[in-house]
Chains A and B, each alone.
Chain A
């Protein structure tokens, strides 16, 4: 990015310095599992997408806070009304799923609080205008996007929504003949970029994402680790620490309680198998996007696959997808982006920066 008009230096002669710092741009990846933010003041932060409110006066006195976020909320979740306000990449209740109006309202409030918290993490100055671009799943419905706008408008001076995988590709300046796979907790978004704005046929959203992998691993652990007690949160933590699809590697032995007694279990196969189940739907969708593309450029497209999102951190996933592409699509090359957690936020920040000023003005 070019700094065309930077902040003024201190004025001479002891005159009061005019603090006219102008515009703070934000790129926001409001994800099901994590919310990441990149800002034009150099701040980058990420927080688990969970919000908690003390259950009663006692817990409020103990926690000394009205709202807790991220890991702090997870640690104290037993004393909290605990919300994961996003599901499959969108605010719960905005995807047509019927929720009791109270629950829908509570989720929207939690999403707004989460967004406000994430924006606060960027430490904007009070006198700055804040313009943000929020990434949404590739096939988020109009209703989903409206809810995101509603949540963001309370905190931002102007907001735009854009497709998350598009933001990843734009941030890396890969705009031509690229397939982006963005693996989140709620959805896997696949997007075909061919120099223009991706249309409906260029994008596929799959539900077989990180949370789904957690379910698979949980199912396998129940089958194979008889008597072991564990929660979904424990499975998620295990996956985040040990996820891997490679055949080789050291065994993963963890202690799980059996009737309250920590007992060692080898969970290598459960984690590997659970993680591997994410591959077939991805490769099948890649096949669809390649097959419906101009035949002249299909080979180029197959060899320019970008792997992004938190789920791309599964060990060996890029090579495993390549192997499966070789088997089913006749070959392909997968490149894992350097910063999976911030790829979407960085791209959204670049879009926010590049957006002409009069466009922002019109959306205020």
Chain B
């Protein structure tokens, strides 16, 4: 039984009962009286209230309402938990997008640095002279220092010819390599910018980040390995495929 009901009943009885002594009762001829304990009284009251509520169809509704309220409370708790998970996922996606955007920005800075260096190298013609030409120049100077008079004209002419030839060859090579490097870096920067634009748009939209992709196992273009079986024949076959494609793409362009 609910203790609070007993206590309230006790208070109620204390306020509305009167006290009679045993002597008074005997005087009135009463030798035995029925006794009802407070707990029994509380139980009777509770039973009476429940019976009345049942009779009026209120007791079942109360149970259902309580059950429904509990169910709603549980549902709300579940919804709160789900929203917490979603909020955490969105936070993570946002963080991932921000990380990706930062990474792309860093990559663009690095690629642009490479591009600047490549352009500078192309302008300055760094590494124009091959090691063999350099050593030949040194030999000529050494010979000239040892015997300044001997065939100076011939040495100068040889030096000039060597220098002109080497410089022309190196310029052509450096230009071609630089142009290729610059083109490649330009493409990479372009691609990175495109990826950055997409990632920033995703971030602004609050969407999920696009996966960064899986890196190729190759950093540079490969080509048939000279140690490969049947190298010469395979190389010939590849040349034929290439030539056919050059013809085809020449027509397409």
Contact = CB atoms under 8 A, between A and B. Distances in A.
A197 B244 CA distance: 11
B16 interface: no
Contacts of B239: 359
A23 to B, nearest CB: 5
Interface string A96-137: 000000000000000000000000001111111101000000
Contact of A160 (B180, B217, B228, B241): B241
Given A20-B219, A363-B249, A123 B224 contact: no
Interface string A1-45: 111111110000000101111111100000000000001111100
Contacts of B191: 126-128
A360 interface: yes
Interface string B185-209: 0011001101100000000000000
Interface in B225-251: 225, 228-230, 233-242, 244-246, 248-249, 251
Contact of B214 (A5, A19, A123): A123
Nearest to A39: B216
B225 A2 contact: yes
Interface residues of A, number: 58
B219 A16 contact: no
Contacts of A20: 219
Contacts, number: 160
Interface in A59-75: none
B88 to A, nearest CB: 24
B31 interface: no
Nearest to B114: A20
Contacts of B211: 123
Contacts of A360: 221
B212 interface: yes
A22 B219 contact: yes
B51 interface: no
Given A149-B248, A160-B241, A41 B216 contact: yes
A233 interface: no
A353 interface: yes
A7 B219 contact: yes
Contact of B213 (A22, A123, A197, A361): A123
B219 A5 contact: yes
Contacts of A25: 216, 218, 222
Interface residues of B, number: 50
A359 B238 contact: yes
Interface string B118-133: 0000000000000000
Interface string A322-364: 0000000000000000000000000000010111110111111
Interface-centre pick from B191, B216, B223, B234 (highest chain A CB count, 10 A) = B216
A356 B219 contact: no
B215 A146 contact: no
Contacts of A146: 248, 251-252
A40 B221 contact: no
Nearest to A22: B219
Given A3-B217, A24-B216, A362-B246, A173 B223 contact: no
A227 to B, nearest CB: 50
A162 interface: yes
Contacts of B215: 7, 19, 21, 41, 125, 128
A251 interface: no
B71 interface: no
Contact of B224 (A7, A131, A196, A356): A356
Given A16-B110, A127-B192, A175 B233 contact: yes
A126 B195 contact: yes
Interface in B133-178: none
Interface-centre pick from B106, B184, B215, B225 (highest chain A CB count, 10 A) = B215
Given A127-B107, A197-B240, 13 more contacts: A3-B218, A5-B218, A5-B222, A19-B110, A23-B222, A161-B244, A173-B230, A175-B230, A353-B222, A355-B224, A356-B224, A356-B235, A356-B238
Interface of B: 103-104, 106-107, 110-111, 180, 183-184, 187-188, 191-192, 194-195, 211-225, 228-230, 233-242, 244-246, 248-249, 251-252
Interface of A: 1-8, 16, 18-25, 39-43, 122-129, 131, 142, 145-146, 149-150, 157, 160-162, 170, 173, 175, 195-197, 351, 353-357, 359-364
